[in-house]
Amino acid sequence: MSKKEYKTFDFELSLPYRLAYGPTWTRFFEGLQEEKIFGTKCHQCNRVLVPARSFCPQCFVDIDDWVQVSNEGTLVTWALISFEFYNQPKKPPYAAGLIKLDGADVSMFHLVDGFDMNDLDKVKETLPIGRRVKAVWSEEKKGHILDIKYFQPI
């Protein structure tokens, strides 16, 4: 005996938003437009936090000590995204990674690209943990996180 199929209600939600960057993030993204990556240093724990913050999440003190960190750093870990999902920002395969920039004490989340991603073994060979990477800049900069197009193995 087949089970009765009940009705479904199909709809889509699309909503406009305008989110405020605030002074610290505005300055950070203005930096990206000049191909500079800024962090802020906490005077209590002495860590340089990248992307820049207006306060240290561990010490909970205001921070306003701006430090320009390197455009190069070390790959802490990475993932090759091989699956597709609705409204995905990029078509697979693509790689995301955590990059610890020279001069920073925490890692930054970004794309890792600039090499062939169609062969997993080659990707593994190209991206040993600890691999040196550098920022590749987008030609057109909008004061957006993707002004850094991706980080490329050096």
Partner 1 sequence: MGRPVAIIGTGQTKHGNRRDVSYPELVREAVKAAFEDSGITPKDIDGVVSGTMPSMMEGIGMTQFYLGDAMAAVGKPILKTETCGSTGMSIAHTAYYWVCSGEADMVLAVGHEKMREGESQAVMSSCFDPFYQKYFTSGAPGIFAMQCQDWATRYNIPEEKVRDAAALLSVINRDNALDNPYAHIKRKVTVEDVKKSPIISYPIRLLDVCPNSDGTCAVIFASEEKAKKIGTKAAWVKGVAYRGEEYNFGDGDKVEWQSAIQCAKQAYEQAGITHPRKELDLVEIYNPFTFQELLIFECFGFSERGKACDDILNGFYNRDGELPCDRSGGVLCTNPIGAAGLIRVAEAAMQVTGKAQDRQVEGARLALSHALGGVMQFNGLMILGSEL
Q: Is 91 in the site for partner 1 (CB under 8 A)?
A: no
Rg (CA), the chain: 20
Q: Which residues contact 5 (CB under 8 A, 6 or more apart)?
A: none
One-letter-per-residue 3-state SS of 124-136? HHHCCCCCEEEEE
Residue keyed to tokens 């993204």? 29
Residue from 43, 46, 61, 120 that binds partner 1 (CB under 8 A)? 120
Whose structure tokens read 């921070």? 63
CB of 139 to partner 1, least distance (A): 18
Examine residue 60 and tell whether it contacts partner 1 (CB under 8 A).
no
| 58 is a contact residue toward partner 1 (CB under 8 A) | yes
Q: Whose Cβ is closer to partner 1: residue 61's or residue 129's?
A: 129
Burial class (CB in 10 A: 0-12, 13-18, 19+), 93: middle
Contact footprint for partner 1 (CB under 8 A): 3, 5-6, 8, 11, 13, 19, 21, 25, 29, 49, 51, 57-58, 76-83, 85-90, 94, 96-100, 106-111, 120, 123-124, 129, 145-146
